[in-house]
């Protein structure tokens, strides 16, 4: 092999290694930067203190979690089988209808931050459909995070269970 070929191979190798290093750095973004965006709900399995598991949200539940770069968040999960109100007015639900709604939806807004060392997402709730959490913080331990999927454990859900949740990054929506 002549000197020019060796030099060419050396440059290609160096460029390849530099490219790999660049990709590794890109993948090492802080957790907070990786969480920014809109996530759609996939599932949550809740475990009671006695070890029994349940799917509180039922099949095909809908939900969004939006984490803005400015530290604001919005979060909602809803069952799809919540019955309509007979009166067709939100202010005129029966006790049974209102109970079904409260048990079938959770939503809250507030601010969020991350403890990078413990991989913990911290939400500071300003308003919620469950008023007992207003003004409180909740912690979720991120167990897995890729560009398209978020998995976390909520060790103290609003129902007193430990919840293992899965979310997918929402695809961009075309606007006209």
Look up the CATH number of the domain holding residue 69.
2.40.128.280
- Render pLDDT for 4-41 as a digit per residue (tens, 0 to 9): 555 454 545 544 544 444 444 445 799 999 999 999 99
Say what the pTM is.
Answer: 0.80
- Half-sphere exposure in the Cβ direction for 89 (13 Å, CA): 3
| Whether 22 and 84 share a structural domain | no
Measured between alpha carbons, how far is 133 from 154 in angstroms, rounded to an integer? 14
| Whether 80 and 142 share a structural domain | yes
pLDDT at 176: 73
pLDDT at 157: 84
Q: Are 125 and 108 in contact, with CB atoms under 8 Å apart? A: yes
Query: Which domain, by its residues, includes 109?
Result: 36-169
Measured between alpha carbons, how far is 83 from 91 in angstroms, rounded to an integer? 15
| Whether 2 and 43 share a structural domain | no
Q: How many domains does the chain have?
A: 2
| Whether 40 and 120 share a structural domain | yes
| Whether 24 and 101 share a structural domain | no
Assess if residue 24 is contained within a domain. Answer: yes
């Amino acid at each position: 092999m002549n000197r020019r070929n060796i030099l060419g191979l050396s440059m290609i190798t160096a460029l390849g290694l530099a490219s790999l290093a660049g990709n590794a750095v890109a993948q090492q973004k802080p957790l907070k930067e990786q969480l920014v965006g809109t996530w759609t709900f996939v599932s949550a399995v809740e475990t009671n203190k006695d070890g029994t598991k349940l799917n509180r949200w039922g099949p095909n539940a809908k939900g969004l979690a939006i984490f803005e770069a400015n530290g604001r968040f919005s979060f909602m999960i809803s069952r799809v089988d919540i019955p309509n109100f007979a009166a067709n007015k939100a202010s005129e639900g029966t006790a049974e209808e209102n109970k079904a709604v409260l048990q079938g939806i959770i939503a809250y807004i507030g601010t969020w931050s991350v403890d990078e060392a413990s991989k913990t997402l911290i939400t500071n709730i300003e308003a919620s459909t469950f008023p007992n959490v207003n003004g409180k913080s909740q912690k979720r331990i991120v167990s897995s995070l890729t560009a398209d999927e978020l998995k976390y454990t909520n060790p103290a859900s609003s129902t007193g269970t430990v919840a293992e949740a899965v979310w997918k990054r929402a695809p961009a929506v075309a606007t006209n």
